[in-house]
Amino acid sequence: MPHRTPKTSAASGSGLLLGALALLGGASWYLKHRSDERALSRRQRLPAPGSTGPSSTSLSPSWLLGGLGAGVAGAVVGASGLKQRHRTDARKRPGDVHLSGHVTIHRSPEEVYQFWRNFQNLPSVMSFIERVEPMEGNVTHWVAKVPAGPAIQWDAETVDDQPGRRLAWRSLEGSDLQTWGTVIFERSENNLSTDVSVSFNFSPPANGGGSVSQYIQGLENAILNRNLRELKARLEAGENPS
């Protein structure tokens, strides 16, 4: 099921850059005008002919302090976002596979959701899944479809269930691999169809595992998109595979 990664890198970089520019610009302005003020003060120590004494002029830096504060805040926010982005990137490991696809189905979001909510339906349209078995509560047992070798299995928990809008799940500890997925259902503009965005994510175990790695590396977006076209054909034909 779809998982759209927020595009924070550009925004974080822009915040950091703009904050730094504001900080440098404010500091430059302050140093220049401070120097001018000192020069003016020196000239004013000499009374002009006919004057009663030196005049005093002081440039108020209050707005400058506000500008500098905004610059510092922008730099801090940008740096924080940049740090968060690096933290997110650090979670990605070699061998991870992230599949994403989209399809528009001429059915209501409620109908498409009902199909997905029964995870036992997925093997009928997802070629990389052999079977899904219901367990206690929100947990299901998944078995991958592999050409040879021992079966790859995992238990998954439904972690987000919004009828007609969104479903999400993730594997539990002790599974052969780490996997999580999301599907989002959005009513199309013509109010007659549903835009479905799907994401499957797979991460091999830390200790490796030849069959698991081979299975994961065999997955690609082309497979998921082909499966979604199969789903579209079945649901629009009025078939609800069991």
Task: Kindly write down the DSSP assignment for every residue of 107-124, as one continuous string.
Answer: S-HHHHHHHHHSGGGGGG
Q: What is the pTM of this model?
A: 0.59
Residues 145 and 127 sit within 8 Å (Cβ to Cβ): yes
Neighbouring C-beta atoms of residue 185, cutoff 10 Å: 24
How confident is the prediction along the chain (242 residues), in pLDDT tens digits per residue?
444 444 444 444 555 455 555 555 555 555 555 566 565 555 555 454 454 444 444 445 554 555 555 454 444 444 444 444 433 333 456 678 999 999 999 999 999 999 999 999 999 999 999 999 999 999 999 999 887 778 899 999 999 999 999 999 999 998 888 999 999 999 998 888 999 999 999 988 766 567 888 888 889 999 999 999 999 999 999 765 44
DSSP string for the chain = ---PPP-HHHHHHHHHHHHHHHHHHHHHHHHHHHHHHHHHHHHHTSPPTT-SS--------HHHHHHHHHHHHHHHHHHHHHHHHHHHHHT--TT-EEEEEEEEESS-HHHHHHHHHSGGGGGGT-TTEEEEEE-STTEEEEEE--SSSSPPEEEEEEEEEETTTEEEEEEPTT-SSEEEEEEEEEE-TTSS-EEEEEEEEEE--TT--HHHHHHHHT--HHHHHHHHHHHHHHHHTT----
Rounded Cα distance, 195 and 104, in Å: 4
Cα torsion 59, 64, 65, 68 to 10°: value is -150
List phi, psi (to 5°) of 2. Answer: -70, 140
Rg of the chain (C-alpha set): 30
pLDDT number for residue 15: 52
pLDDT number for residue 149: 76
Rounded Cα distance, 23 and 30, in Å: 11
pLDDT number for residue 131: 95
pLDDT number for residue 1: 41
Rounded Cα distance, 1 and 198, in Å: 4
pLDDT number for residue 103: 97
Q: Which of 106, 115, 205 is nearest to 153 (CA)?
A: 205
Q: Which of 200, 202, 216 is nearest to 2 (CA)?
A: 200
